[in-house]
Amino acid sequence: MLELSPGLRGALLGAAVSFAACSQGSPGGPMDSGPEELGCPVTFSHRPTMTASSVAVVGEWNGFDRSGQKLTAQSDGTWSGTVKVAPGTWAYAVVENGAEAPPAEATAIRYVDGKPWAAMRVPDCTKPLLSVAQGSIKNTRASAGAGRFEATLSVTGGEALTGTVRLPDGSSRPLTGAELQLADDARSAALVLQGLADGKYTVSLVGKNAKGEAGESLLLPFWVEAETFTFRDSPLYMLMIDRFRNGDPSNDVPGTGTGNAAFRGGDLQGVLQALKEGYFDGLSVKAIWLSPWQTQPSRSHVDDGVHAVSGYHGYWPVKAREVDPRFGGEAALTAVVQEAHRHGIRVVMDAVLNHVHADHEYFQDPAKKKWFRTGCLCGSSPECGWDNARLTCLFRDYMPDIDWTNNDAAAQFSDDMVWWMEHFDLDGIRVDAVKQVEDAAVIDLTGKVRERFETAGTEYYMFGETFTGDVGLIKHSIAPNALDGQLNFPLFFGVPEPVFARDDQGLQQVRSAVQGTLSDFGASPMVTFVGNHDVARFITKADPANRDRQGNQWDNLPGAPQGQVPYDRLFLAMASLMTTPGVPLIYYGDEYGEFGGADPDNRHLMNQAATYFPEQKNQLNRMQGLLKARAALRGLRRGPQQDLWCNEEPWGQGKGNLYAYARTDADPRQTAVVVLNLTGNTWTNVVLNFPTELKWPMGTLREHLSQTDKPFAGSTVTVDVPARGAVVLSLK
């Protein structure tokens, strides 16, 4: 995972690190590291990777002196000891028999003389330290309004403890004495909240010492809900704020830009209106990915000599911690998140970590010029390619590249993201242009987010965009100390267009690609999609009258789909997407069939219900039915896929036009069986034999898309599968 220097490979190396107050002893044995005032005790516990006669910790604090702090062998095979280190962030490594041990997963990276090392952050031991006792979190919900949250807290160096809780409506109140009780010895505390309504809560705790000095706060974010949420449970709805809905025309500011590359007036107030109207509820959407909302430049840019582009898309930030007034400002974002949480909807922020705009406040600060690179343009020469110079080249000459090897820059940009997450109570992060940033960008950010927000067991989903079919490059940034998942470009390149839009391949291609991606990425929650903001709209690819214009950006643009077939192709692609493993993406407008060519033509102002084409209205209705089925069946959301069969009929350059598979669950009534029909005719009397492990011997099946029931016996049923359609079956 780390790009570490030969010879001195600093990494976490499997060492457990713990911190204590200055008054505490050294559980791993005493070490000659000077008087207490020189630093705070940091205890290391390390299991060697080889037979070791000596193990030591070397770090930035002692110039990586290998004769420095040695660990002591313990009876359980580990080596441990305590080192005194001043508060701050330090690079370090563990040395076995005089050589650095093989690197493991670091949770932070720090550069020393241009070389990356694993890093640890040492808190100030003169102030109280708070943590959650392992295994003490209990989050239960007997019924609506009867949620209960319990935790045991470890307190080090504290004499008093206070706390607040942020409620689902966004308000906060102090914790009562009955809810937070500090033990008589002040070394632990009990937290109990009960009678909780559904929604998101955040407990914030602060300890104080005898001098009245406060330590770092401890956050405990948690949800009270009927079923613990995972991001696989919901489609991830991606919307561009400027193109979704204009909820407040008063914040519209005329700006430069050619055609669809200018600001169009969409704002966070429009998102808020949709939330209140239940638009996302109707799609069974419980997670929204918003385009970047940081303030954008007032000027536009002409890259091709003809067409001007503005920052309507949000990827040219000029402010670190400001919501663009054109998008509604801070109050609008706060209202969106609070309303989303009332509906049980998570909100994901788009993190731009590769670059800023030249007008950015940091780039304009002379003291921060070393935070950025201003060298060659990506693709401008053989020496400055998108791949061989991916970490250092500039997307555009007005987009300075963030230098994550600069520790000050790395700390500031990752801290800014944590600020956004905490200040607005966000639930996840999508990292833009992952392959263009150093590993430090991903590792430092995800490490800080997990340390700060995953304290009470709540999942904060962090995924990235590595725009490539290279599985290895995508997997490079997926790890316990990095991203949870990424956009699944290999699956996107192999399935939606060749199979569902063009009939170039058959359903055997879907079967192979799905199994391949499960093999490649394992249990990682990958984001699967048929389209996004960087590629032409799927329905345009599926429309013979317009597909040849899918690459057009400015002129001779594709028009509305011709006839019903493109909508059917889109629906079948969505049926496959929503019933196979992953976190399926809905790019705004694809739920009703929005059309468009290449960027920026794929970013139309979203059509609203009052002006839907008849085909669009029908498309939205059947998408709602499909997504309702997914929400109702846990197997469709979380279960492993079991292929039943896929026929061998020749189709395009491949095989298979009828495909049946199951998504299983321990509860047979939560298992689903899906059949896809790629042909233009209804396929009648399709025989399904249910394997024993499905536990479907007889009974009544519900077909969720047509809302019809059918009795069956002998683990066998016959069904009719609509043309370019699907059936989704469950045991009633």
Q: What is the largest CA-CA distance in the chain?
A: 83
Q: What does the pLDDT look like over 47-83, one tens digit per residue? A: 998 899 999 999 999 899 877 689 999 999 999 999 8
User: What is the domain partition of the chain in residue ranges?
Assistant: 16-122, 129-224, 233-354+414-634, 355-403, 639-731
Q: Contact at 8 Å (CB) between 621 and 564?
A: no
> For residue 24, what pLDDT band results from cuts at 50, 70 and 90?
very low
Residue 25: pLDDT band (50, 70, 90) is very low
Residue 674: DSSP 8-state: E
Query: Is domain 129-224 classified as CATH 1.20.200.10?
Result: no
**Residue 652 Cα distances to 513, 623, 676, 722, angstroms:** 17, 27, 16, 20
Read off the pLDDT of each residue in 548-553 and give the average, rounded to a whole number: 98
CB 177 within 8 A of CB 160: no
Contacts for 177 with CB less than 8 Å, ≥ 6 apart: none
The pLDDT score that the predictor gives to residue 17 is: 66
* CB atoms closer than 10 angstroms to residue 298: 13
Please tell me if the domain spanning 16-122 has the same topology as the one spanning 129-224.
yes
* Helix intervals (H) in 365-433: 407-423
* In the predicted structure, residue 548 carries a pLDDT above the cut 80: yes
Q: pLDDT band at 689, cuts 50/70/90? A: very high
Q: Which pLDDT band holds residue 16 (cuts at 50, 70, 90)? A: low
Range with lowest mean pLDDT among 27-31, 101-105, 506-510: 27-31
The answer to whether residues 466 and 489 touch, using CB atoms and an 8 Å cutoff, is: yes
pLDDT tens for 574-595 read: 999 999 999 999 999 999 999 9
Q: How does residue 38 score in pLDDT terms, banded at 50, 70 and 90?
A: low
What DSSP designation does 381 have? Answer: B
Q: Which among 693, 690, 695 is positioned nearest to 717, based on CA atoms? A: 690
Residues 6+ apart with CB under 8 A from 636: 578, 579, 629, 630, 663, 672, 674, 728
- Tokens 């009633």 belong to residue: 732
Q: What end-to-end distance do the CA atoms of the chain give, in Å?
A: 47
Phi and psi at 428, nearest 5°, equal -175, 175
Read off the pLDDT of residues 328-370 as tens digits, 9 standing for 90 and up. 999 999 999 999 999 999 999 999 999 999 999 999 999 999 9
Tens of pLDDT, residues 286-318? 999 999 999 999 999 999 999 999 999 999 999
Among the ranges given (33-37, 124-128, 482-486, 560-564), the one the predictor scored with the smallest mean pLDDT: 33-37
Q: What is the CA radius of gyration of the chain?
A: 28
DSSP 288-328: EEEPP-B---SS-EESSSS-EE-STTS-S---SS-B-GGGT
Q: List beta partners, residue 373.
A: 401
- The structure's pTM equals 0.94
- Structure-token match 């430069």, residue found: 256
pLDDT in tens, 609-657: 999 999 999 999 999 999 999 999 999 999 999 999 999 999 999 999 9
Task: Extract the tokens encoding 336.
Answer: 């969106």
Q: What is the pLDDT confidence band of residue 31, given thresholds at 50, 70 and 90?
A: very low
Tens of pLDDT, residue by residue over 192-236, are 999 999 999 999 999 999 999 999 999 999 999 999 999 999 999
pLDDT category at 604 given cuts 50, 70, 90 is: very high
Can you tell me whether residue 525 is helix, strand or coil? coil
Domain 16-122 bears CATH identifier 2.60.40.10 = yes
Mean pLDDT over 255-262 rounds to 89
CATH code linked to domain 233-354+414-634:
3.20.20.80
Q: Given pLDDT bands bounded at 50, 70 and 90, which one contains residue 21?
A: low
Q: Give the three-class secondary structure for 143.
A: coil
For residue 649, with 0-12 CB atoms within 10 Å meaning exposed, 13-18 middle and 19 or more buried, which class applies? middle
DSSP annotation string for 159-209: SEEEEEEE-TTS-EEEPPTTTEEE-TTSSEEEEEEEEEPSEEEEEEEEEE-
Alpha-carbon distance of 561 to 613, in angstroms, equals 10
Are the C-beta atoms of 616 and 607 separated by less than 8 Å? yes
Which string of b and e fits 459-474 if b means at least 16 CB within 10 Å? Answer: bbbbbbbbbbeebebb
Render pLDDT for 511-543 as a digit per residue (tens, 0 to 9): 999 999 999 999 999 999 999 999 999 999 999
User: Strand 172-174 to strand 160-166: parallel, antiparallel, or no bridges (unpaired)?
Assistant: antiparallel
Measuring CA to CA, how many Å separate 88 from each of 91, 130, 412?
10, 17, 14
> Half-sphere exposure of 661 toward its Cβ, with a 13 Å CA cutoff?
24
> What's the pLDDT band for 255 if we cut at 50, 70, 90?
confident
Is the distance from CB of 590 to CB of 542 less than 8 angstroms? no
The pLDDT-based confidence of 1 (bands split at 50, 70, 90) is very low
Is residue 131 a contact partner of residue 37, using CB atoms and an 8 Å limit?
Answer: no
Q: Please check whether the domain covering 639-731 is classified as CATH 1.10.260.40.
A: no
What pLDDT was estimated at residue 20? 57
pLDDT at position 497 is: 98
**pLDDT for 10 beyond 70:** no
Evaluate if residue 418 carries a pLDDT over 70.
Answer: yes
CA distance 279 to 284: 9
Query: What is the C-alpha separation between 334 and 271, in angstroms, rounded?
Result: 12
Is the confidence at residue 104, as pLDDT, over 70?
Answer: no
